[in-house]
Amino acid sequence: MPAQRQCMLLMAVLLATRPGLAAETGGEKRDFEAAAGAFTNGFYARAEAEFDKFAQTYTNSALLPQALLFQAEARLEQTNYAGAIELLTARQPQAGAIADQYAFWLAEAYLRKSEYQPAADTFAKLIKEFPASSRLLEASIGQATALAKLGQWPRVVELLQQTNGVFQSAARTNAADKWVPQGYLLLGEALLAQKDYRTAEATLLPLGKRLLEPRLAWEWQFLICRVQLADGRPEAALTNTANLLSLANSAAQPALRAQSIAFKASLLERLGRPDQAIATYKENLAPGLPAQSQRQALLKITELSLAQNKLADAIQTLESFLAQFSKADAADRAWLTLGELRLRQEASLLGTNQTTVVRTNVPGATNYLQLALDAFQALAQYFPQSPLFGQGQLGLGWCFWLRDQFPESQKAFQSAVERLPLSADLAMAHFKLGDAEFRQREYRGAITNYNAVVGNEKFAALPEVETNLFEPALYQTVQAGLSSGDLAAATNALQKILAWYPNGFHTERAVLLAGQALSRQGDPARARRIFSDFIRLAPQAPLRPEVELAIARTYEQEAQWTQALQQYETWLARPRAEYYRARASFYAGDETNALTYFTNFVARFPTNDLAPLAQWWVADHYYQTGDYKRAENDFQLLSHNWPGTDLDYQAQMMAGRAAVGRQSWEDAKVYFTKLTGDKTCPLDLHLHAMLALGDYWMSRVSTNKLADYGEALGVFNTIGNDYPTNPLAVLALGAKANCLLQSSQYDAASNTYQQVISSPLADVSARSQAEVGLAITLEKQAQAQTGAGQTALLKLALDHYLNVFYGTLLRGREQPDLFWVKKAGLEAARLAGDLGQWQPAVNIYGRLQELLPQLRASFAEKQAKARKNLLPIPE
């Protein structure tokens, strides 16, 4: 209990025992002392009840004001802030000599209730009306604290710097008061928020000469470090972390030590010393530190190790931690990350075609898949209630899937579905659960889970799910429906494929499968309608000849020979038929025969005009299946055998991408550089090659990413400087902005995004993406600020999101890009909520429902959540 409150309570007890009280007040004295004892010992519920009983029993007692005050304080200690405010407000007129105490605790109640404006106003009223109050200095600090919470940093500085103000007067006359250091710390925070870094540091440094209690001393040093960092002096801040750690140890608070270690590590990371940063983060893996800090350390160690292509180091750290603390609170994160990294190792081996899925019988081989499985199973065994359990089950399902253990895979994916929150992981769990059921011929269950992906509006609001899973889920639904005889499910999914993805990767294959199934079912007319609709929607589809042949067969089924003959007359000669037979095999799901047919086609008809396309298919097949070395060789062969053609240059670019796929960075660089230096290369492909070269520098793993970003920027600048009027120059400018954002060059990124926005060559999609990128950059910049400075940047970011959302950026008769409208709207609503602007957030979700009615349910749910944050309208 604070000394001032204890003193006041003692005075109240002495008043209860003064000789002048009549004998019949003995019960009054006893009851007050009993309530006071309960309060002193921390039994606040009991104290509140007893003081309330006292107030009702002794309505004329001289101790009544004190009893009511302590009743209110007891409510505060129980976080019943509204009850304390109600009691103090109602009884303030009867406070008498302790009216200032009532005012103080009323203001304190508002502050604790996070009603900062009433708190600031009430503290200010106390200072004005009770200049002799013992709470004057504390009230001054309270007022400044409330204003700080409101982000009114200039007012905070004014209050605490005012020469004749309460704080400065107290600092001169009673420098030893415990509230004086608190005031200086608050003033330092305000000056930091105002970006007056040198004044902030000068204000704080004198506190270093005082003997502060350990926690306060740590806060002082941490604030100085933050000021130095914001002032662009990370080395100075790093030097001071030695004292920061020492003070954390003196305070004997593990959370402070963990925070100090994490801050030091972040400085080392910022200074480009990843190995030292990793070593520092490892200190947060020691026993006794908060589990959340350990989890953060594990994530950062893994992130930094992977950024340096040190996968083995990341794994070693995780395994060392788990060897000592396999069941520690933070071990759930370690087991999950270890499993994911082991699975990544397995995937890299599969991608380079160096091994088969199961290698338990290969001497000397590391069975990464088994190690991943062990890690995920350990997570499930040791942490069945962990929030990470669902992610672990998803990883476990993948392990069983890669081992062709489909029943076990199904069980794990089912557990993931049951435990994962709404996320891309949950969508993937549904999709893979459907795949596992499909492989076991449980087609109805498979259809249910594929529909759970496509039919959930909440998943439609996640761009990565819509982009990566919707089309394959629909195609799998077609296959499952046809396999189970559920033509309704198959045709319903097919209609969505045709409507949403008329030129999609799976569309042609799905059309053929569904149409052929209908023909077999004796409904050739309906099959023909499906084929005809497809040709109408995708007239340039590569598989169109096969679809036209299928139409001819439907006429045969109906004995309409004239129409069938007309269809057959469009069919091509033998080599072309061989080529399309290979394509039909592929789209029918028989990739093994398709590969054989295409390979044989190139060998049998090397001079046919379709031979380079067949060779392209073979190379692309190996690329898509992850056999990047074979793909690279076949693309090289295509370039060599058909030089000077468009496919020659495209094959060179794909060979470069295949080299990137197998992480042969220098080979990739050679391909892209060759294309950019070839004067005969078509300009459009030349510029695309330059963009690919820039992407190569941005994407490759290296120990010096800053240098790589510099190379990428050089490439993007060349495109812009040499081809300023080419539409691809705008793409290069956007890529440059993204590169600057990734390399944390936020000012330059902002300027570059602005150039895209202003460019007459930029279409609405490019400008929308740039507006969103600029908003993200401003949010990143705001993270380094506090108070008014931070709020200003966030409001500016909100403006840029709204430029897209409300169509402010549209030119002439342009139509908005709905993808970016949705993205900008969701981000704007989120940020408006972060800024406390809940009514605008609610309105944005309402407008999104009008713009995208197919996602109405998802937006309505978000709107309802936002509406809960609206303050009630005063009566």
User: Which range among 528-537, 560-569, 722-731, 820-829 shows the weakest confidence by mean pLDDT?
Assistant: 560-569
Integer Cα distance of 471 and 475 in angstroms? 6
CA-nearest of 327, 344, 306, 440 to 381 is: 327
Each residue of 796-810: pLDDT tens digit?
Answer: 998 889 888 878 788
State the burial class of residue 679 (Cβ atoms within 10 Å of its Cβ: 0-12, 13-18, 19+): exposed
Single-letter amino acid code for the residue at 664 = S
Mean pLDDT of 340-351: 79
Residue with tokens 């197998």: 662
663: left (phi over 0), alpha (psi -120 to 50) or beta: left
Each residue of 153-163: pLDDT tens digit?
Answer: 999 999 999 99
Task: Tell if the pTM clears 0.85, that is, is over it.
Answer: no
CA angle 395, 396, 401 (to 5 degrees): 95
Helices then strands, each counted (H, E), the chain:
47, 0
State the burial class of residue 643 (Cβ atoms within 10 Å of its Cβ: 0-12, 13-18, 19+): exposed
345 alpha-carbon distance from chain centroid: 24
8 Å CB contact between 652 and 685? no
Integer Cα distance of 795 and 691 in angstroms? 33
8 Å CB contact between 489 and 447? yes
CA-nearest of 130, 835, 199, 146 to 155 is: 146
The predicted pLDDT at position 361 comes to 41
Q: Is pLDDT of 356 > 60?
A: no
* CA-to-CA separations, 655 to 591, 623, 634, in angstroms, rounded: 22, 9, 8
Supply the angle between the helices 683-699 and 665-677 in degrees, to the nearest 10. 150
Mean pLDDT of 565-585: 63
8 Å CB contact between 771 and 809? yes
Integer Cα distance of 437 and 447 in angstroms? 9
What is the pLDDT of the chain when averaged over all its residues? 84
CA-nearest of 157, 141, 143, 167 to 190 is: 157
CA-nearest of 536, 540, 489, 525 to 510 is: 489
Integer Cα distance of 654 and 511 in angstroms? 29
8 Å CB contact between 369 and 425? no
* CA-to-CA separations, 714 to 46, 457, 499, 683, 709, in angstroms, rounded: 72, 43, 42, 19, 9
pLDDT bucket at 124, cuts 50 / 70 / 90: very high
Q: Is pLDDT of 287 > 90?
A: no
CA-nearest of 296, 331, 299 to 314 is: 299
Single-letter amino acid code for the residue at 478 = V
660 HSE (CA, 13 A, CB side): 20
Written as six digits, the tokens of 529 are 């309608």
Q: Is pLDDT of 258 > 60?
A: yes
User: Could you tell me which residue, 560 or 13, shows the higher pLDDT?
Assistant: 560
Going 421 to 425 to 430 to 436, the CA torsion angle's sign is negative
pLDDT bucket at 19, cuts 50 / 70 / 90: very low
- Read off the DSSP letter of residue 421: P
Q: Is pLDDT of 746 > 60?
A: yes
- Count of all residues that appear for the chain in the document: 875
Q: Is pLDDT of 365 > 60?
A: no
8 Å CB contact between 795 and 785? no
Integer Cα distance of 427 and 176 in angstroms? 61
Integer Cα distance of 633 and 641 in angstroms? 12
Single-letter amino acid code for the residue at 99 = A
% of the chain with per-residue pLDDT over 70: 88
Written as six digits, the tokens of 739 are 């590169």
Integer Cα distance of 768 and 697 in angstroms? 25
Going 368 to 374 to 378 to 384, the CA torsion angle's sign is positive
The predicted pLDDT at position 518 comes to 61
The predicted pLDDT at position 201 comes to 93
8 Å CB contact between 290 and 271? no
Integer Cα distance of 296 and 279 in angstroms? 14
Integer Cα distance of 111 and 120 in angstroms? 8
8 Å CB contact between 154 and 194? yes
**What helix, strand, coil percent values describe the chain, rounded to 5?**
75, 0, 25
Integer Cα distance of 438 and 477 in angstroms? 10
Q: Is pLDDT of 195 > 60?
A: yes
Mean pLDDT of 276-302: 89
Q: Is pLDDT of 712 > 90?
A: no
In 743-782, alpha helices (H): 746-758, 764-782
